[in-house]
Amino acid sequence: MIGYTATPTGSAFLRDRTFIKCLMGPVGGGKSTVAFVDLLSRAFDQKPYNNVRRTKFIILRNTMAQLKSTVKPLIDQWMVTMPPSPMGQWRLTDNTFEIKAKAADGTTVHTEFIMMAADTPDDVRRLLSVECSAAWVEEAREVDPEVFAGLQGRVARFPNRASGGVTYPGVVCSTNPPPLGGFWHTMISTPPSNVKVFIQPSALLDDGSLNPNAENLSNLDPDYYDNLISANTDAWVDVYLKNNFGPGNMGQPVYKGSFKRDFHVAKDALMPVMQSVNSLIVGMDNGLQAAAVIGQQDMRGRVNVLDECYVPQDQTMGVESFLERKLVPLLREKYPFQPKNVVFMLDPACFQRSQLDEKTIAEAVMRYGYTVRKAPTNDPERRISSVEALLSKQIDGAAGILVSPSCGYLVEACEWGYRYKKSANGQTTLTPEKNHHSHLSDAFQYFCSHYAMEAQGNYYGRNRARREIQKSGYVYA
């Protein structure tokens, strides 16, 4: 087979045998070559039948023009130009590259690489009639999820079981980072059990310098990335060179510059310290989709976010029902503190009496014996500042606030779900968007406001008592 030396991420990708594999990385990282070599290795590893290793592969991208400008030159480079003699030939009538070659054991490798677009209904109908061994989705973030789902049903079909079956079926995907909040972002960030994701190191570090661990540098011009930085916007560089998910059609995440998953999310689940003098703090947002964030400060001064609780996106629930059915049972089961040592930080609106029964949400919480405090403000800007103050804090070089990995929805909110609105002309505003992530984010802000007030010496809205002026026993002359 061709002489190819894989990068560290590429090597791990090629060794893996998961049914769906996805390789995400920056421009210039060599993702397409890794994906092509993966298919080629399947062709040579296919179990022979009647002394022939037969396979057929689909290579999918949005348009045929894209395939001819990216994939065809790649195949030509590895299969036509580099070998001593061409290892196959193109059938341009159906955009197929066919290989017939001898393997080391004397068997014949007979495979076809079929380039297929998925841009029109006719393209999709054609795709759904093809039977193949495996498939490669190039620049997967551009491919419709329904097309991707249909593609999975076309692999493992050639050769059929009567002719030996497919030794290694599956779908490989290569892509730059997709937009936040979409299908591909979800699949890459929280992959299903039959999907394995491989992420290459970024080409640039956060400070804009070249990442020494970037892959494929030896095959790139020394000025390759410098030229890309000069020619493009910061937003483009953030996605294509720093390997970050992009905002897409959404506004920028509120904590984009301050929340870092690798820094602020613990590797293992965080546990409460039952004997601590520090109370358990519960930040709660009210409404029909109420939410709460639960945490505690440890003895070193670090704030640990231990748990989250919220009404699911497709449900609504009154606050009292939320307390009775979800939040209070969670507190009693996992955090059996004395109720007086559990402090609820509530939206100031929770202290206003209902016009129906003269009750307040604060009183509903106090009926369970918990301590209730009023958050100092309902101003989103000030609440966001209380979160960012903790996110920017460090203790002995580590994060000043750490989120338990069990708080997956809060992590999503901080990373991308809680975002600024976009105006009608597409400009990002400074007003956070109201969506399902915003409820838990509001609860997180009330939670963080407790520690912001402690840091300022303003406990629960009461300023420190002024010192009395004392008369001195002397005067200055």
Secondary structure of 175-217 as H, E, C letters: ECCCECCCHHHHHHHCCCCCEEEEECCCCECCCCCECCCCCCH
Long-range contacts of 324-333 (CB under 8 A, 24+ apart): 327/282, 327/284, 327/290, 327/292, 328/368, 330/294, 331/280, 331/282, 331/294
Tell me how far apart the alpha carbons of residues 351 and 61 are, in angstroms, rounded to a whole number. 56
- What three-state secondary structure class fits 348? helix
8 Å CB contact between 405 and 265? yes
In which residue are the tokens 């820094």 written? 263
First to last CA, the chain: 97
Record the tokens describing residue 363, joined without a space. 């009183």
Q: For residue 65, how many other CB atoms are within 10 A of its CB?
A: 11
The reported pLDDT for the residue numbered 473 is 60
| Closest by Cα among 424, 415, 473 to 444 | 415
Query: Which strands make up the sheet holding 195-199, listed edge to edge?
Result: 88-91, 96-102, 108-117, 52-61, 134-138, 170-175, 20-24, 195-199
Q: Burial letters for 232-266: b for 16+ Cβ neighbours within 10 Å, e otherwise?
A: eeeeebbbbbbbbbbbeebbbbbbbebbeeeebbb
| Cis check: omega of the bond before 159, within 30 degrees of 0 | yes
Residue type, 476: Y
Answer yes or no: pTM beyond 0.85.
Answer: no
Q: ∠ CA(236), CA(241), CA(244), 5° rounding?
A: 75
Digits of tens for pLDDT over the chain (477 positions)? Answer: 567 899 999 999 999 999 999 999 999 999 999 999 999 999 999 999 999 999 999 999 999 999 999 999 999 999 999 888 899 999 989 999 999 999 999 999 999 999 999 877 778 888 888 999 999 999 999 999 989 999 999 999 999 999 999 999 999 999 999 988 889 999 998 899 999 999 999 999 989 999 999 999 999 999 999 999 999 998 899 999 999 988 777 788 999 889 999 999 999 999 999 988 999 999 999 989 999 999 999 999 999 999 999 999 889 998 999 999 999 999 999 999 999 999 999 999 899 876 445 589 999 999 999 999 999 988 999 999 999 999 999 999 999 999 999 999 999 999 989 999 887 777 778 899 999 999 999 999 999 999 988 877 655 444 444 555 555 565 554
Residue type, 156: A
Q: For residue 22, how many other CB atoms are within 10 A of its CB?
A: 25
Eight-state DSSP code of residue 477? -
User: Phi, psi at residue 426, to the nearest 5°?
Assistant: 90, 0
Distances (CA, A) of 441 to 36, 112, 350, 387, 452: 42, 51, 17, 10, 16
Long-range contacts of 9-13 (CB under 8 A, 24+ apart): 9/34, 9/198, 9/199, 9/200, 9/201, 9/215, 10/34, 10/37, 10/215, 12/198, 13/38, 13/198
Residue type, 400: G
Eight-state DSSP code of residue 293? E
* Beta-carbon contacts of residue 100 (< 8 Å; ≥ 6 apart): 88, 108, 109, 110
Q: Are strands 280-285 and 342-346 parallel, antiparallel or unpaired?
A: parallel
**What is the Cα gyration radius of the chain?**
29
Q: ∠ CA(266), CA(267), CA(270), 5° rounding?
A: 55
| Closest by Cα among 94, 45, 106, 450 to 283 | 450
Tell me how far apart the alpha carbons of residues 307 and 407 are, in angstroms, rounded to a whole number. 6
Where do the H-state alpha helices sit in 25-63?
31-45
Query: What domains can you pick out in the chain, each with its CATH number?
Result: 8-240 (3.40.50.300), 261-456 (3.30.420.240)
Task: State CA 470 to chain mean position distance.
Answer: 59
The reported pLDDT for the residue numbered 120 is 78
